[in-house]
Amino acid sequence: MEFTVNRRALLAGATAAGLAGTLAACGGEKDQKGGSGSFTFTDDRGEEVKLDAAPTGVVAYSYMAAALTDFGFNGFTGVFGPTLDGDGNLRPEVEGLDKDAVEVIGNAFGEFDVEKYAGLEPQVLLDHYYNTPESLWYIPEDSKDKILKLAPQAALNVDDGSNTLADIIQRHEDLAKALGADVEADSVAEQKEEFDAAVEALKTAAADKPLKVLACSAAEDRFYASVPASSNDLRFFEELGVEFIVPDSPDEQGYFEDLSWENAGKYEADVLLLDARAGVALQPDELSDFPTWKALKAVQADQIVPWFSEPRYSWSGSAGNVQALADMIAKGDAVA
């Protein structure tokens, strides 16, 4: 489900000490890759990162790096988290990154090459966290202390229980601006217009046709019905008027209700917003032989929308997800 673990070398002391001296290093003329001029940013933990010069050695969680690239900052020397597919190409979620300019120091949960990270002489580490500031996303617990000693971190909370998709995108824009990106550029304005248009389309569709939507995820032996209050994008869609089905028996954390496939039809929905994480959750073509899946009325009506439960937090990176739900509701029918 969206909040499972799937969604989330020793260094000499002399190396760490040497890297500490890079924190105030200066670059060349100021541009979107960093350079002259100070850098100050207060993150969502209330921690202020303050450097004498705009950082030129920036390492970031890959999805976060892709979002900041959309806002015009591309001064990354390294990324970690899902970045490359099995063929060595950029995953769709991080399109826009310069694959040839960044070092991938970890490509899956639990992977983080500390020696490679140290070799990049990082000036700042950028990451997400989910509600708990101590648990930075894709930073392994067993090497966390070594990693965090090498550079200051700026972290954004992508789910505090009340913030929504638009709030989080705005915080990424704030960070990009602090890094030196021109967030007033026409390209960013066009992305915002695209997002706003999708938002208006979803508002209109939800008001005109209040279909019942179930956010869900499928596994080999389980079907998960998500609690809309537990996810920043679902909370945002609710604010726009989307009518979500709320499971009545969620897990202890309040994220989802765990159902056997025999009970997958417990909640009758007009539209399924289906977890689209390939390799993590089963996709429609992989579910074609599941009798209870085929029996769902939304499936029979082909009213399924991919749900990217960890989107790219930029206007353009999220606009398509909003628009897809708007289009399905606008053209869909009440079938439950």
Write the CATH number for 320.
3.40.50.1980
pLDDT in tens, the chain (336 residues): 333 333 332 222 232 333 333 333 333 333 344 445 689 999 999 999 999 988 989 999 999 999 999 999 999 999 999 999 999 999 989 989 999 999 999 999 999 999 999 999 999 999 999 989 999 999 999 999 999 999 999 999 999 999 999 999 999 999 999 999 999 999 999 999 999 999 999 999 999 999 999 999 999 999 999 999 999 999 999 999 999 999 999 999 999 999 999 999 999 999 999 999 878 899 999 999 999 999 999 999 999 999 998 899 999 999 999 999 999 999 999 999
In this structure, the answer to whether residues 161 and 301 fall within a common structural domain is no
35, part of any domain:
yes
In this structure, the answer to whether residues 27 and 141 fall within a common structural domain is yes
Q: What range does the domain containing 255 cover?
A: 189-331
In this structure, the answer to whether residues 195 and 47 fall within a common structural domain is no
In this structure, the answer to whether residues 216 and 109 fall within a common structural domain is no
The token pair that represents 290 in the structure block: 């599941």
Q: Residue by residue, what is the 3-state secondary structure of the chain? A: CCCCHHHCCCCCHHHHHHHHHHHHCCCCCCCCCCCCCCEEEECCCCCEEEECCCCCCEEEEHHHHHHHHHCCCCCEEEEECCCECCCCCECHHHCCCCCCCCEEEECCCCCCCHHHHHHCCCCEEEEEECCCCCCECCCCHHHHHHHHHCCCEEEEECCCCCCCHHHHHHHHHHHHHHCCCCCCCHHHHHHHHHHHHHHHHHHHHHHHCCCEEEEEEECCCEEEEECHHHCHHHHHHHHCCCEECCCCCCCCCCCEEEEEHHHCCCCCCCEEEEECCCCCCCCHHHCCCCHHHHHCHHHHCCCEEEECCCCCCCHHHHHHHHHHHHHHHHHCCCCC
In this structure, the answer to whether residues 298 and 219 fall within a common structural domain is yes
In this structure, the answer to whether residues 27 and 149 fall within a common structural domain is yes
Q: Which residues of 61-89 are buried (b: 16+ CB within 10 A; e: fewer)?
A: bbbbbbbbbbbbbbbbbbbbbbbbeeeee
Look at the chain and report how many structural domains it folds into: 2
Q: What's the confidence (pLDDT) of residue 141?
A: 95
In this structure, the answer to whether residues 78 and 21 fall within a common structural domain is yes
In this structure, the answer to whether residues 173 and 221 fall within a common structural domain is no
32, part of any domain:
yes
Q: What's the confidence (pLDDT) of residue 37?
A: 66
**Among 125, 160, 183, where does a domain finish?**
183
336, part of any domain:
no
In this structure, the answer to whether residues 14 and 134 fall within a common structural domain is yes
In this structure, the answer to whether residues 274 and 160 fall within a common structural domain is no
In this structure, the answer to whether residues 116 and 153 fall within a common structural domain is yes
In this structure, the answer to whether residues 152 and 265 fall within a common structural domain is no
**Among 183, 215, 242, where does a domain finish?**
183
Q: What's the confidence (pLDDT) of residue 279?
A: 80
292, part of any domain:
yes
